[in-house]
Structure formats: C-alpha cells, structure tokens
Chain A
C-alpha cells in the first residue's frame, strides 16, 4: 500500500496524497482544501468549550510535513483556509508564511474565508475570489455548477468520504478523493473537520487512511 497514487489526466501527472491533498510534480504545486484553521479558537470565543490547541498544532505540523516531503514551491488553498473571524490562530499562519518566504501561497476564497483582505496580504497570500485557471485545470472552492468543456474543476467544500462495504457486514467510512468526468473533489485537509458520505455512483473514489491512499473498486 502506498502513501500516494499517481493519476494521469491529459498527460498531466498528479499525486493523490495520503495526507489528504494533491501534488503536481510538474510545477511542484500542492493543492489543499478546507483546512479550517482557528476553528477551535472560534468556538472558544463563543463560549463553547473545546481544547484550545485542538486542530492548530496538528494542522501546521501536517502542512510542514507535506511541504518538506514533496519540496513544494507553491500551495494553492482551495478555500476555507481559516474557519471564521480573526483569532489567535491567524498568528500561527503568519508565522508559517514568514518561515516560508519562497513558497508561493495562493488562496481561492471559500465561504468561511471572511477575514478582511489585509490579513491575507499579511499572510503573503495571493487571493482569487472565485476561480483560478491553470492549463486545463479550473480551481474553485465549491464545485462549479457548470464546467466549460475540456476543463477539469478541482474543488473542496464538500469534505467527501466514501463508505466501503465488505464481507462479514463490515463497513468503513474514510475521507476520499472523488473524481467525476469534469470534477475532482478533495478531502478536507484540516484535522478538526467532519466528513460527508458521498455515494460513489459512476465516479472514481480514492480513500485515504492518513498513511495510505487506495482506489475504491
């Protein structure tokens, strides 16, 4: 079992990573969806008790880990990078971007990304409000209702999971990559996120355990 799975679309190679994101070797780009940084702090601010360090430490650790492991030059965040209005966790992100001045950071705004634009500048992020097209790939936060012919929409927002069934009436629910004709949905990257069970239908699904990624037959 492998920690990544290579997919070729129109001769472009992309790795589906067990770390719940994708990597394009061609331009050393990581694509990461739905990190939801600062979620715990947002809850605490509203008087809802949740351990303070939940999410944050793990998410930055994982971010650093994939960055090092694949020696990425760019990261495209597909929205919901930061969970809500400003809180202490944003400092960590600014620290992170300061430590990586040579990594290009791009954000496509998601419904949760409600910080004033100045914050993103401070975090060294280039912001795209709706979509970003590179080659035949069209990035967005939520999957687009209509994708122009010939393009592949890569999106987040849904937090897809696959439900697997097997002998002995066993079932297993795991976060997954979900690939349809013109759409590739990414699993949520953040550790403090839930999942939405997406029926497979005619799509291809690739589940991840955190250590391994596997195609669902």
Chain B
C-alpha cells in the first residue's frame, strides 16, 4: 500500500483512525470522518482515495483521464494548503497527478487549462462547484468524478452554503450514481445527522478519531473585582494581563468576536507595549487576501509573537509555533471555544492551553461554565437549513444559464436532498414561476424575461441576465462593500459602504491596524493615506451577534445555581462571590428555583428586567412575546435591550408587570399564535429577507471593487419586503423569511423549552432603587430593538410633545 511506504519514508506511524479510513474507502464505502485538525485527517482521506484512483484507472486502460476527485473546503486559504499537502505525497511517490485549485481567485488562464486538461483532483469551494454548473457542457467535465470529499463539513452544515453543497452533490450523484462521498467533521452533537445529510439517501460509516485531548481553561481575572466594569464588550481593561501571557508564551493567537474588537485590541496592545511592532499582527475577514496570507505565512515560520484575529483563523491549517490561545469575551459556544483552544498544542498528547478574558464582571462565570461543559462534553448541534427556496431558485437559474434543465428531472434530484425532502410539486412549480414570469402575473404587457422555456427545457438566453447571475452565485450576502486603497492603488481591504458614507474627507479611521485618512470616495473605492493622528473612528461591522448556545446557557445556569458549592473549587466563582452577594442584597440571585424580574425607574423611563439566561435569540423572542402580550391590554411602545443573560423592556409608561404575570405573561398557551402576531415578527422577517433576496437574485450588488453598471436597478431588500408583503403575501421567499425567524432567530423549540422551564420556576418581582449587577450590562447595551402597537400618529405626537 502506498500509505505504508510513505509513512515509513517519513518515519511516522499511522493512527488507527487513518488505517480504518483507508480500509473503508478502499472497500468503496462512503462516510464521515470525525477528527480534529492537525492529526493527519487529510492523509487519512487521501491515501484511501489514491488506492481507489489507481485501481480505477488500472481497470479501465482506455478511459480518458478526467477529474477523479473533488475536494471541497469552506475556505480558500484551506484549499491552498490542501494543494501543498497533496502535492507533497505526489512528489514523494512520483505519482504525476495533476492536483489543481479552483476558487474565486483562480485566473482565467488556469481555468481554461483546467477545462482542457481535466486535472485529476480539483480542490474547490461549494460556490465554485455552482460556477462550474453554470458553464455550458458541465456534464462532460463532471461526469467522470468518482469521489467527493467535503472538508470541515460541520462548518458548512449550519449555513446555506451547506444547502449549496447538498444541491451540488445531488447533481454530481445524478451524473455518476456510483459517486463515493466522504465528509470530514469536527466533533458536534449531531454527527449521525451530519453524515445522513451529506450522503443523502446513501448508506455510510462514521469513523471517529477518538484521540484523547487535554484542554486547560484559565480565566484571566482582574486584580480587584470592584474596579472591573459591570457592563461592556471590549475587555480592554485586561490588556496588561493579556500582554503578560503573550510575553511568556511562544506564539499566541488572540481571538476576538468582532472585527472592530480586533482592531481596537491590536491598537491597545501596541500602545501598551510598542516593542511588539512588527511581531504583532492583525487578521480578519475584511483585510486583503495579501495581508492575510502574509500573516499566515509568518505564523508558520514562527516570526510572529501574537496575532489578534477573529473567526477568520477558526479553521484551517495548523500553525506549529502557536502554543497559546486567548479568547476575548464570551465564546458563545463550547464547540467553538474548544475548536479555538485546539489551535494550540496540536501534537498528539499535548495539552491545549486557552485563556478566557471576560469583558465584564458577570461574564467571568463563563470560565467556570466552559470548564463544566468541557468536562461533560456538552457539544452543540449544527442545525441544518431546510426548505431554503432562495438557494433552490439560485440553483435553478444556474442550471438554466448553462445547458438548461428539464423540471421533471431536477425535481427528483432535488427531492432526494435533505434540505428539500419535503418540497411539494406545487412549491416547486411556484419556484419555476418565479424564474420564468417573476411570480404571479396578471398583465399581458408584462415584460419579465429571466428564464424562458423552449420545448420543455428551461434556459436563460439573455447574456446580461447570465452575467449578473454568475456574479451573484453563492449563499453569503454582505452589505455593499467599498475597497479601501492607498493613492498608489494598493488594496488594503474592504469596509461596508455605510461606514464610509458617514465619514467626511479628511476624517481618520482605524483599519488594518493603521490610522487612515479618507482622501476621496470614487465609485465603490475609498482612497486613503496613512495618518499620524492618534484618534480615529473604528469601523463597527454589522453581524457577529451570535447567541449563547443552548449548551453553554445550560452550563451557565448550572454554575449559577450551584455557585455556593462551586465557590471553593472554581476560581471564577470564588472571585465573583462579592458580586453575587451584592445582587442578593439589591434583589435576588437568579437560579433554577427563581426567575428574577426587576423593576426600576430612571430618567430614561420605566424599566423591567428579566433574567432567563437563555441566549440572545431566545430573549429576543421572549421580549417580543411579552411586549405583545402586554400590548394586548393597552397600547405600549417598548425599547428592548438584551444580552445572553437577560433582557429589558423600557417604556415611557408604567408597566403593571405583576398583574400581567398572574394573567399568564409567560404561558405557553397560544404561544405560536402570539409569536406570529407580535409586531416584531415582521421586523425580524424583514432582516432575514435581506439575505434571502440577495441569494434569490432580487438584489444585485456586484462585487467589491468591480463596478458593474446596474443602472436604475438598485433597491434595498426592505423595499422588496414591503412590496411582497403587500401584493404577494403567500410568496415562497417571504414565507421562508418567516420560517427562518421561527426556526433560527426565535428558535421556537428552544423558546418553548425555556417557557416550560419557567413554568416550574417561582417568579420573583423585585423593585430596586438602583440597577443591579445583573441588570446593568443589559441596560448598557447600545443596540436596541423597538416594539410598538401604538398608532404611528400617536407615537409621533408623544415624541413631538417630549421634544417641546
């Protein structure tokens, strides 16, 4: 076997899971490999595939060589690394295989070479597969594919890119029913389901690496609790302590939750320790590929002391020099936290070291909760998207752009995927109507032409439509981005247009770790130069509002409930003791026994705080529900603030919460109806619709830096939403927005469980003179939602009256 030779040559000995995987692949099985990064999962796959490939070719001397294997990864940077890894084996064993990369960055020349020479292995992304499907004659190129690997499947699974993958696979399986499919996944709660979704109706095995892994979690505690803030998200107070850790470690990865947080931390660390200049770097998704690659290279060679990064470094190849990981602020989930921890100490048997840096007092207890969750292996599920009609519509147009499709064939293929298992003929017909005549239409004068039907084949004939479609393939929708460039034309990265539009020329802002002065804005480019000014704005990027996971919420509630017993052995809890006592003095400490509600007045108005500890999204749903139920008694307008621990309703009017609770404020009766009717449902659906409109091709933005003429075709998704609500309220895409709000945003099942739990709790309503330690961080949230069932004119009158 090739593998044995090669491992001997390298003086390595294979892991058991690698041998098991080779065997399973050679026997022709499909399946899922569950293994962490850095333990040779790539080789576990690759040597199995090699054996199959060589045997396949040996048996069919006269078949033309075509692409044998597609290797799908979620990240371009990962795919680059994969090419290197596979080519290493290629060269060592002198196999002369053509292993090529196909991503959005691949040059036209290389693409042309690929379509002529059909590389043996194509390393690619889900989007690139759809781009290939949008090319004429794709069947000829793709029908010889015998093997597909989906790397980091757990990452794709919980997003619409997972749906893209499912649809891509459905086509490949149609072209070659013998297709062998393998996924590689980190540990998640629903591995079995992940396998099933990937394989569709095929049988398959799961191979687990089961490598023992020690993770050491240390919370960075402030010197004194009294000086540590009760609210906030930055955690910058602990920068000095973070530097201590960096200085005594080899190379450190410092993970933040948002790009703006990364920018701010980078500045602060450099300010505190200027000699880090040159060995401290910044890495996030808005920076140019060039900068990111430089940082990654420097991480490999060990020339960096530390890198401040975001989820942009969650995945991917291992950086051997990294021996320490720091997490700033809540990691929101255990799997994510452990994945980040795993970026250090990946040699088998080594301990991963991760430091947790809380950003406010109460967050300190998450350290203990994370430890509890790690010990009990509370791993989150990745919830797959189902019935994503936006992705289906995009896929149908993709097929229409290339060779056209016959709906009766595609319906069968699509129905075999997990995502569209439940699609009905009627729904499929509606999707077809949307692409052929733009939904329902009444007027004979209508000029809608996207997909036309010729002898039963659905195709796109307009070159403009085809070009626009190719440019919008994908399931990641972002705001309109502006390229940030120096006068010389050098590209630094991209920032959301709305941020730049708030700036005047001459203003300075922090980006890519530099202070930049805006010189001018031209089309979608912001031209800047370096500035010496010390002050500047930091772009705050939208998004990144991940909620606390179910499992971590559970762990936190457990820690809070058991705090007295835990204080002796958990440093976080013993440190927080005075805060808990303060909370008890001012109000009550939330626990499994009590749901605590606090009522207080400030000059802002009347506040009511609730502490269910269920994560932002559930709180959002609960707040909407409660606002709606209160509003049934009398009209109110609420401003709602929330965090992962609780939420607040703020009103200009007094709220009689006691009576409302007695009358069933938290009741699960009529829950579904009340949620549907809550005013905010529409608001939430409108936000969801933004991505749906983008994916389904309603909103066309082009790409950063590339100015594409879209004369008179710009409209924001909010307008589309309004119009569909008014004229076509049964539209599938609109319904999808509401379903997504229900399933993902409000997480109906989780909300139901939470309310059921609350039904067994005693509800304590405390009037407090001051904000409590638990209420303050919520109060300090700057992001607020609004719920209202007052008439617009009445609200306006009240506002105007207050302004007078």
Contact = CB atoms under 8 A, between A and B. Distances in A.
Contacts of B719: 192-194
Interface stretch (B662-670, B708-716, B740-748, B762-770): B708-716
A55 B450 CA distance: 21
A9 interface: no
B795 A211 contact: no
A99 interface: no
Interface string A158-170: 0000001111111
Interface in B397-450: 434-435, 438-443, 445-450
A168 B637 contact: yes
A51 interface: yes
Contacts of B290: none
B443 A52 contact: yes
Interface in A40-58: 40-55
Nearest to A84: B712
Interface string B695-706: 011101000000
Interface in A141-170: 164-170
Contacts of B438: 44, 47-50, 52
A47 to B, nearest CB: 3
B541 interface: no
B727 A209 contact: no
B94 interface: no
A48 B697 contact: yes
A118 interface: no
Interface stretch (B222-230, B366-374, B796-804): B796-804
Contact of A217 (B712, B718, B803): B803
Contacts of A166: 652, 798-799, 802-803
Contacts of B718: 194
A132 B187 CA distance: 70
A53 B651 CA distance: 39
B735 interface: no
A43 B713 CA distance: 6
Contacts of A52: 438, 441-443, 446, 448
Given A47-B450, A47-B462, A170 B799 contact: yes
Contacts of A55: 723
Nearest to A112: B712
B465 to A, nearest CB: 5
A84 B434 CA distance: 23
Interface in A164-194: 164-172, 174, 192-194
Contacts of B795: 170, 172
A214 interface: yes
A117 interface: no
Contacts of A41: 446-447
Given A212-B793, A212-B796, A83 B712 contact: yes
A164 B448 contact: no
A100 interface: no
B604 A44 contact: no
B440 to A, nearest CB: 8
B737 to A, nearest CB: 14
A59 to B, nearest CB: 12
B442 A169 contact: no
Contacts of A209: 792-793, 796
Interface in A49-95: 49-55, 83-84, 87-88, 91
B271 interface: no
Contacts of B109: none
Nearest to A1: B793
B727 A51 contact: yes
Contacts of A212: 793, 796
A51 B468 CA distance: 20
B576 interface: no
B558 interface: no
A167 B438 CA distance: 44
A127 B667 CA distance: 63
Given A87-B447, A166-B798, A46 B713 contact: yes
B776 to A, nearest CB: 16
Interface string B625-648: 000000000000111000000000
A207 interface: yes
Contacts of B449: 45, 47
A164 B606 CA distance: 20
A75 B610 CA distance: 55
B728 interface: yes
B605 interface: yes
B122 interface: no
A216 interface: yes
Contacts of B716: 194
B786 interface: yes
B650 interface: yes
Contact of B786 (A43, A45, A171): A171
Contact of B796 (A39, A91, A172): A172
Nearest to B638: A168
Nearest to B465: A47
B698 A49 contact: yes
A44 B605 contact: no
A183 to B, nearest CB: 20
**Looking at B697, B719, B797, B804, which has the most chain A CB atoms within 10 Å of its CB?**
B719
Interface in B477-492: none
A169 B639 contact: yes
Contact of B726 (A42, A47, A54, A168): A54
**Looking at A49, A50, A209, A214, which has the most chain B CB atoms within 10 Å of its CB?**
A49
Interface in B756-802: 784, 786, 792-793, 795-800, 802
Contacts of B464: 46
B575 interface: no
B294 interface: no
Contact of B439 (A51, A91, A112, A168): A51
B39 interface: no
A49 B693 CA distance: 10
Interface in A198-217: 207, 209, 211-212, 214, 216-217
Nearest to A208: B796
Given A51-B727, A170-B637, A207 B713 contact: no
A50 B450 CA distance: 12
B447 A48 contact: no
A217 B445 contact: no
B802 A88 contact: no
A14 B450 CA distance: 47
B394 to A, nearest CB: 12
B138 interface: no
Nearest to B464: A46
Contacts of B724: 50-51
B554 interface: no
A169 B779 CA distance: 11
A53 to B, nearest CB: 6
Contacts of A207: 796
**Looking at A88, A168, A170, A214, which has the most chain B CB atoms within 10 Å of its CB?**
A168
Contacts of B804: 217
B346 to A, nearest CB: 47
A51 B723 contact: yes
A174 B796 contact: yes
Given A44-B446, A49-B435, 7 more contacts: A52-B446, A84-B712, A167-B652, A168-B637, A168-B639, A194-B719, A214-B796
30 contacts: A39-B712, A40-B723, A41-B446, A42-B712, A45-B447, A45-B449, A47-B697, A48-B438, A48-B713, A49-B696, A49-B698, A50-B698, A50-B723, A51-B439, A51-B724, A51-B727, A52-B441, A52-B443, A52-B446, A53-B443, A54-B723, A84-B712, A166-B799, A167-B802, A168-B637, A168-B638, A168-B639, A170-B652, A194-B715, A209-B792
Interface of B: 434-435, 438-443, 445-450, 462, 464-465, 468, 604-605, 637-639, 650-652, 696-698, 700, 711-713, 715-716, 718-720, 723-724, 726-728, 784, 786, 792-793, 795-800, 802-804
Q: Closest 7 CB pairs between A and B?
A: A47-B450, A51-B727, A88-B445, A166-B799, A84-B712, A49-B438, A169-B639
